[in-house]
Structure 1
Amino acid sequence: MAEREKEECKCKHNECHCECDEECKCGGECDCGENCTCETHCECEECHCDEECECHNKEQEYLNLARQIQADFENYRRHAVEDKNKARIIGQISVIEAFLPCLDTFKEAKKSIIDENVLKGVEMIENKILDALASVGVEKMKTIGEKFDHNKHEAIAQFADESKDNEIILDEYQSGYIFNDKVIRYAKVIVNKRGNE
C-alpha cells in the first residue's frame, strides 16, 4: 500500500499550557495540585495524522477496486452481447441453409413445367420465399453474364465462347447466396475460357 508522505503535523497537542505546576502561593501546605482541572479543560488534542493518512490510503484503494470491478463488468457485458449476437447469426444461418435446397428444387421443377399458369404459380411461391429471405439480409448472387469471382463463385466447368469476354459466367448450376455480406453458399457456375487466352 502506497503511503502518503507525512506532512508537518498541525495538531494542537503541544499547545497545552497548564499553570498548576507553578509555585503554589499557599506555601506548599495546601492541596492545590490535587484539585487541578487542567486535563478536563485543556484545549490540546491528541494527534491522529497517521490514522487519517491510513484511512485516506484505504479509501483510495477501495475506490480503485470499485473502478476495476466496474470495468470488468462492462467488459463482461460487452462480451455477453457479442456472444449473443454471434449465436443469433449462427442460428439464422442454420435456418437459411435449411431453406436453400427447397429453392434448388424450385429451379429444377421449373425446367419440367410446360403449363404457363403452373409455372407462374411456382415462380410466385419461389419469389415469396426469396423476398422473405431478403427481408432478413439474404441476397441471391448474380451470376450469368457477371465476371467470375473466386470469392463468391465456384467454377465446375469451362467452355469456350469467342463472342463473350474471358472469365465471364456462361451458366449457373447452383445458386449462391450472401447473408449480411458473408457468403453462406458459393454459386456453382460454368465459366467462359477462350482458347487464345
Structure 2
Amino acid sequence: MQADGLASGDIDLDAVIGDAIAGNTGEKDPITALTEERDSLKDQLLRAMAEVENMRRRTERELSQSRKYGHAGFARDLLSAVDNLGRAVEVLPEDRDGLDDTIKNLVIGVEMISQEIAGVMERHGITPITPMGEKFDYERHQAMFEVPTGDAEPGVVVQVARAGWMLHDRLLSPAMVGVAKKPENDPEK
C-alpha cells in the first residue's frame, strides 16, 4: 500500500539514518543536558547561599541595634525623674553647718543617689547635653525663648532651662535653651 509515500505509522528510515549520521536525533545530548542542569542548580545554590548570608548580616545588625538602643523607651521615661532629682540637688544648701544631723544626712544621701544614677546612665550610654555657650543646634536643642544681649553672639545658647539627653548617638530629649539675639536698641542694626 505504498503508492506515493509512507503509510501512516511507518518510519522514514532514510530520514532517521540521515539524522543519525548528522548527529541530530532530535534529543539533547545527555552531557549537554546534565551540564545545563548542573549550572542551573549551581546558580540556585549560590543565590540561596547569598540570601542566607544577607539575612545573617541583617539579623546581626538588628540585634546589635537592639542591644544598643533597646532601652531607649525606659531611659526616656526615666529622664523626668532624673531631671527633678538634678533640680533638687541644685537647691541643696552649700553651708550645712547650721543643719540638723538628720537633714545633713538626707542632703548627703540625695547627692549620693544623684551621683550613682549619673554613673549608671553613663555606663549605659545615656549622656547629658549641656550646651551653654555653644552655637544653637536645631538637631539637639529646642529654643524656648530668645534673650536680647550684647554679651554673646546671636544664635548662641545663653541659658539652659533643661539639659537634653543622648543615648549613644541618638537624641532622647533635646536641651531646652534660651538663645542670644541682638538687643532691640543695638546701634549696629
Please give the TM-score of this superposition, normalised by the length of structure 2. Answer: 0.68
Structure of larger gyration radius: 1
Tell me what 1:140 maps to: 128
In structure 2, the partner of 1:168 is: 156
Decide whether the 8 Å contact of 2:163 with 2:176 is kept in 1: yes
Cross-structure match for 1:124? 112
Q: What one-letter code is carried by the residue in structure 1 that aligns with 2:164?
A: G
Query: Counterpart of 2:177?
Result: 189
SS at match of 2:179: strand
Instruction: Tell me, yes or no, if the aligned pair for 2:134 and 2:156 is still in contact at 8 Å.
Output: yes
Question: Residues 120 and 155 (structure 1 numbering): CA distance in 2 closer, same or farther, change over 3 Å?
Answer: farther
Counterpart-to-counterpart distance in 2, 1:122 and 1:162: 38
- How many residues are treated as equivalent by the alignment? 150
2:7 is matched with none
Q: Structure 2 vs 1, CA of residues 135 and 146 (structure 1 numbering), >3 Å: closer, same or farther? A: same
User: In structure 2, which of residues 33, 45, 48 is the aligned counterpart of residue 54 of structure 1?
Assistant: 33
Instruction: For 2:53, give the aligned amino acid.
Output: E
CA 1:53–1:163: 2 relative to 1, 3 Å: closer
Gaps of 5+ in 2: 1-27, 97-103
Structure 1 unpaired stretches of 5+: 1-48
Which residue is equivalent to 2:54?
A: 75
Query: What is the percentage of aligned positions where both structures have the same residue?
Result: 21
Q: What is the TM-score with the length of structure 1 in the denominator?
A: 0.66
8 Å contact kept, 2:69–2:167: no
* Structure 1 stretch displaced more, 77-86 or 100-109: 77-86
Once the 2 structures are TM-superposed, how far is the Cα of residue 93 of structure 1 from its aligned partner?
0.8
CA distance in 1, matches of 2:153, 2:159: 14
1:109 alignment partner in structure 2: 88
- Are residues 1:94 and 2:82 paired? no
Task: Return closer, same or farther for 1:154/1:133 CA change in 2, 3 Å cut-off.
Answer: same
Structure 2 counterpart of 1:194, one-letter code: K
Match of 1:163, as an amino acid? D
Change (3 A) 1:121 1:168: farther
